[in-house]
Chains A and B, each alone.
Chain A
Amino acid sequence: EIVLTQSPGTLSLSPGERVTLSCRASQTFSSKYLAWYQQKPGQAPSLIIYGASGRATGIPDRFSVSGSGTDFTLTISRLEPEDFAVYYCQQFGSSPRTFGQGTKVEIK
Chain B
Amino acid sequence: QLQLQESGPGLVKPSETLSLTCSVSGGSITSAYYYWGWIRQPPGKGLDWIGDMFYSGITYYNPSLKSRVSMAVDTSNNQFSLKLTSVTAADTAVYYCARRTSGSTYDYWGQGTLVTVSS
| Interchain CA distance A37-B63 in the complex, whole Å | 23
Main secondary structure of the interface of A (DSSP, over half): loop
The verdict on A96 contacting B106 (CB below 8 Å), with A88-B47, A101-B46 known, is no
B48 contacts A99, C-beta separation under 8 Å = yes
Q: Which residues of B contact A45 (CB under 8 A)?
A: 47, 96, 106, 109
Residues of chain A within 8 A (CB-CB) of B111 are 43-44
- How many chain B residues touch A (Cβ–Cβ < 8 Å)? 21
B45 CB → nearest A CB, Å: 8
Chain B neighbourhood of A33, CB < 8 A = 104
**Cβ B63 vs Cβ A96 within 8 A:** yes
Q: Which of the residues B46, B62, B110 comes within 8 Å of A44, measured between beta carbons?
A: B110
Number of interface residues of A (CB under 8 A): 22
Contact B107 A44, beta carbon cutoff 8 Å: no
Given A44-B112, A96-B62, are A50 and B103 also a contact pair (CB < 8 Å)?
A: yes
Whether B46 lies near A88 (C-beta < 8 A) is: yes
How far is it, in angstroms, between the C-alpha of A98 and the C-alpha of B50 when the chains are bound? 10
Pairwise interchain contact A99-B49, C-beta atoms closer than 8 A: yes
- Is B31 part of the binding interface, using a Cβ–Cβ cutoff of 8 Å? no
Residue of A nearest to B65 (CB): A96
- A residues neighboring B (CB under 8 Å): 33, 35, 37, 43-47, 50-51, 56, 88, 90, 92, 95-102
User: A44-B109, A45-B109 are known contacts; what are 14 more A-B pairs with Cβ within 8 Å?
Assistant: A37-B106, A44-B96, A44-B111, A50-B101, A50-B103, A88-B47, A90-B105, A96-B49, A97-B49, A98-B49, A99-B48, A99-B49, A100-B46, A102-B47
